[in-house]
Amino acid sequence: RAWPQKGNIVFKDVSLRYDRSREPVISNLNLHIPAGQKVGICGRTGSGKSSLVMSLFHMVDVFEGKILIDDIDTKLVPLQVLRSRLSVIPQDVIMFSGTIRENLDPQSVYTDMELWKSLELAQLKDAVSSLPGCLDAEVREGGGNLSAGERQLFCLARAILHNAACLVMDEATSSVDPSTEKALLAAATRAFAGKTVITIAHRLSTILDYDRILVLESGRIMEDGTPAQL
């Protein structure tokens, strides 16, 4: 398999800003996430959680320092490669109008069996089976006929298909019901067993089985430990 094979992530003195003239949203952050670790990130709104994880994809305007994945400086990796080799489930998943199949597999490279398998792992098999047309059911523009939680589950199914070494999840803020949220995290943990998973969680209770929890405050890591230690 192509880079990254293991998903070992190192942040070296990383500072992030959206505007050169403003204070950094992440300041001089150092962090090592060993391959296979399950890391939860908590912190108040605006503390920099999404910025921190999106910096893995070079989605923050001004980026100082280095992020290494499996010893490769991500600044040396073409953006399109970087963004296609790590999987992300963003806070707000955007789906395009088209069928479930087209949303899952825009380049139609997977078999129906693989698509169903990914839906099953993402806990969406029953929901999709009950739609008229199943895989060929239409998704309304923007995914309007799906809940925010379901859109995230679809995104997880896509991530499972890609089989990346690293998964990043940013829990939806728009009141996803706790059971859907639990389903998302449980399905992701199962499907990405042994791989690196970084999850931004709003409730500590949803990530109690993680290896490590980071608490961010104003762009700095204030706590770093196992769930039991915090």
Taking alpha carbons only, the member of 42, 10, 72, 38 closest to residue 222 is: 42
Contacting residue, 5, 13, 30, 46, with ligand ATP by CB under 6 A: 46
Contacting residue, 49, 101, 158, 212, with ligand ATP by CB under 6 A: 49
- Which residues between 159 and 178 bind ligand ATP (CB under 6 A)? 173
The answer to whether 15 contacts Mg ion (rule: CB under 5 A) is no
C-beta atoms surrounding 228 within 10 Å? 7
Question: Could you say which of Mg ion, ligand ATP, none residue 151 binds, taking C-beta under 5 to 8 angstroms by partner kind?
Answer: none
Contacting residue, 8, 15, 47, 50, with Mg ion by CB under 5 A: 50
Helix ranges restricted to H, 35-177: 49-54, 79-85, 100-104, 112-121, 125-129, 148-162
CB of 225 to ligand ATP, least distance (A): 19
Taking alpha carbons only, the member of 209, 216, 210, 114 closest to residue 161 is: 114
Question: Could you say which of ligand ATP, Mg ion, none residue 207 binds, taking C-beta under 5 to 8 angstroms by partner kind?
Answer: none
C-alpha distances in Å from residue 211, one per residue of 39, 199, 207: 6, 11, 9
The answer to whether 96 contacts ligand ATP (rule: CB under 6 A) is no
Binding site for Mg ion (CB under 5 A): 50
